[in-house]
């Protein structure tokens, strides 16, 4: 009790707007985690490791395509001066439609070489089916970005809570119904209209006029480094799945995928609550060096209090709750779960450093770092796979705890030293 009181006192000392926005997202994702836990228990009981492996391939393929939707257009709308928001919003709307329709076609075409690569034609139809959601997202994407810019994370949190909780509960029902991997895949398509309707309903912005390509060049120039970083982040998030599935087996991938989601899922929900708040939070204080630095380093305090105790607690309890909650057949996943869970600790700190570089118009430096880290990460995984799944998980942990702190130190020193020297001149 004393520990909780002291933690609450520390949180009150931090920046209120940042805490409030993170709080809304965290509260929504807490509800999501409850429904996801229920679903994970049912899926673990009703799905086989092979089902999990097939679902992992389908979801990975979808995620690798969707990374190009995080192309910097939204971040440009968040960062740009207020007087230019409306002009860029109109152009962003039509640019989003071009991007999403193109990605729909690409994902459907990519299903066939992926089926050949994994030697399993069962993945073709679900990969193509998941692509349908790409045709719905553009209807609310600009509004979602403007809500972030305005700091209205309460709406975003509630929308996410309804959408993803519905996804989880539908998966639970479909698993009971014996749909196999479709119990994981199908709900993600069915709930996308919920997100689009809720976001559009809660923001007044509507597209005006006809099709336009104005400002596309500006958004492409700003976004090329952003999409590069997002592509590398997504590749790293899914590279271990690709390697385990290709070099070991679909069943081994199923066990690894279960361990990753059961172990890192809770921590990632907190990390993902922090990440979208970082850039608008930092951009608000760019004109005041002292406040800018204060807001940046205060995020470290918030992250420490949110992530470190959670990751340590979950990893230490894994040997007890995995067989009890999910069943004896997942005991082999426990060592992998513990290692992956611990790798969560440095991740949100590195996210803060990345957003710091974007906030000062240096996204290219973030891209350069991500190229280097992806190379190191890939090398580690290819070495680790020689020792099966446990070797891959060890490589994930070691690359994160060794190299991410180096990046955080360098990025923080670079930005604030550069600003200080500029103001001195």
Among candidate residues 294, 360, 361, 273, the one with its CA nearest the CA of residue 22: 273
Most confident among 34-43, 285-294, 408-417 (mean pLDDT): 408-417
Q: Which residues of 249-265 are buried (b: 16+ CB within 10 A; e: fewer)?
A: ebebbbbbbbbbbbbbb
Among candidate residues 377, 388, 383, the one with its CA nearest the CA of residue 346: 377
Number of domains observed in the structure of the chain: 1
The confidence score (pLDDT) of residue 425 equals 52
pLDDT tier for residue 58 given thresholds of 50, 70 and 90:
confident
- Distance in angstroms between the alpha carbons of the first and the last residue of the chain: 51
Asked if the structure places residue 44 within a domain, the reply is: yes
Average pLDDT over residues 2-23: 51
The confidence score (pLDDT) of residue 275 equals 65
Mean pLDDT in the chain? Answer: 80
Average pLDDT over residues 36-60: 76
- Model confidence, pTM: 0.63
Contact 248, 56 (CB under 8 A): no
The confidence score (pLDDT) of residue 310 equals 82
Which residue segment(s) compose the domain that 158 sits in? 8-424
The confidence score (pLDDT) of residue 276 equals 65
The confidence score (pLDDT) of residue 379 equals 94
Average pLDDT over residues 378-395: 92
- Per-residue pLDDT reduced to its tens digit, 162-192: 888 888 888 888 888 888 888 888 888 898 8
pLDDT tier for residue 33 given thresholds of 50, 70 and 90:
low
Distance CA 227, CA 69 (A): 8
DSSP secondary structure letters along 163-205:
HHHHHHHHHHHHHHTT-TTHHHHHHHHHTHHHHHHHHHHT---
Average pLDDT over residues 406-416: 89
- Per-residue pLDDT reduced to its tens digit, 224-277: 777 777 778 778 878 888 888 888 888 888 888 887 777 666 666 666 666 666
- Look up residue 336 and give its DSSP letter: H
Query: How many other CB atoms sit within 10 Å of the CB of residue 342?
Result: 22
Asked if the structure places residue 325 within a domain, the reply is: yes
Distance CA 361, CA 125 (A): 42
The confidence score (pLDDT) of residue 109 equals 94
User: What residues contact residue 380 under an 8 Å CB cut-off, 6+ apart?
Assistant: 395, 396, 398, 399
- Look up residue 380 and give its DSSP letter: H
Asked if the structure places residue 417 within a domain, the reply is: yes
The confidence score (pLDDT) of residue 16 equals 57
- Per-residue pLDDT reduced to its tens digit, 207-222: 887 787 787 887 777 7
Asked if the structure places residue 3 within a domain, the reply is: no
Distance CA 188, CA 175 (A): 14
Least confident of 23-37, 92-106, 267-281: 23-37
Least confident of 10-14, 18-22, 317-321, 351-355: 10-14
The confidence score (pLDDT) of residue 255 equals 83
Asked if the structure places residue 218 within a domain, the reply is: yes
The confidence score (pLDDT) of residue 43 equals 75
Asked if the structure places residue 43 within a domain, the reply is: yes
Percent of the chain with pLDDT over 90: 15
Average pLDDT over residues 401-406: 94
Average pLDDT over residues 347-362: 84
Among candidate residues 345, 282, 257, the one with its CA nearest the CA of residue 75: 282
- Per-residue pLDDT reduced to its tens digit, 124-140: 999 999 899 899 989 88
pLDDT tier for residue 416 given thresholds of 50, 70 and 90:
confident
- Per-residue pLDDT reduced to its tens digit, 74-87: 777 777 777 787 87
Distance CA 98, CA 404 (A): 35
Average pLDDT over residues 340-360: 86
The confidence score (pLDDT) of residue 164 equals 82
Asked if the structure places residue 219 within a domain, the reply is: yes
Average pLDDT over residues 287-300: 75
Asked if the structure places residue 254 within a domain, the reply is: yes
């Amino acid at each position: 009790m004393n520990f909780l009181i002291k933690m609450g006192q520390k949180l009150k000392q931090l920046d209120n707007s940042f805490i409030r926005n993170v709080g809304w997202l965290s509260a929504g994702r807490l509800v999501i985690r409850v429904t996801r836990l229920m679903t994970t228990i049912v899926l673990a009981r009703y799905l086989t490791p092979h089902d999990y492996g097939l679902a992992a391939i389908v979801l990975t393929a979808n995620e690798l395509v969707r990374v190009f939707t995080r192309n910097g257009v939204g971040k440009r709308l968040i960062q740009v001066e207020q007087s230019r928001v409306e002009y860029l919003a109109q152009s962003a709307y039509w640019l989003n439609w071009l991007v999403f329709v193109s990605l729909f076609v690409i994902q459907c075409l990519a299903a066939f070489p992926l089926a050949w690569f994994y030697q399993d034609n069962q993945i073709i139809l679900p990969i193509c089916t998941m692509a349908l959601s790409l045709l719905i997202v553009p209807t609310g994407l600009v509004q979602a970005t403007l809500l972030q810019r305005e700091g209205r994370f309460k709406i975003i949190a509630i929308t996410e809570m309804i959408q993803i909780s519905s996804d989880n509960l539908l998966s639970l029902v479909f698993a009971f119904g014996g749909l196999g991997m479709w119990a994981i895949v199908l709900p993600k398509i069915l709930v996308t209209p919920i997100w689009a309707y809720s976001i559009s309903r809660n923001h007044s912005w509507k597209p005006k006029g006809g099709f336009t390509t104005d400002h596309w060049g500006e958004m492409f120039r700003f976004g090329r480094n952003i999409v590069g970083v997002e592509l590398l982040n997504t590749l790293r998030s899914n590279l271990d799945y690709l390697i385990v599935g290709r070099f070991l087996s679909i069943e081994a991938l199923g066990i690894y995928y279960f361990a990753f989601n059961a172990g890192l899922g809770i921590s990632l929900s907190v990390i993902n609550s922090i990440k979208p708040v970082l850039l608008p939070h930092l951009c608000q204080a760019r004109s005041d060096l002292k406040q800018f630095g204060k807001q940046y380093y205060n995020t470290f305090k918030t992250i420490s209090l949110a992530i470190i105790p959670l990751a340590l607690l979950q990893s230490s309890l894994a040997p007890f709750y995995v067989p009890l909650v999910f069943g004896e057949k997942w005991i082999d996943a426990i060592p992998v779960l513990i290692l992956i869970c611990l790798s969560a600790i440095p991740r949100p700190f590195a996210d803060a450093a990345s957003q710091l570089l974007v906030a000062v118009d240096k996204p290219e430096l973030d891209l350069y770092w991500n190229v280097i880290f992806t190379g190191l990460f890939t090398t580690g995984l290819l070495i680790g796979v020689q020792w099966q799944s446990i070797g891959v998980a060890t490589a994930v942990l070691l690359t994160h705890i060794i190299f991410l702190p180096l990046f955080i130190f360098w990025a923080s020193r670079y930005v604030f030293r550069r600003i200080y020297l500029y103001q001195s001149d």
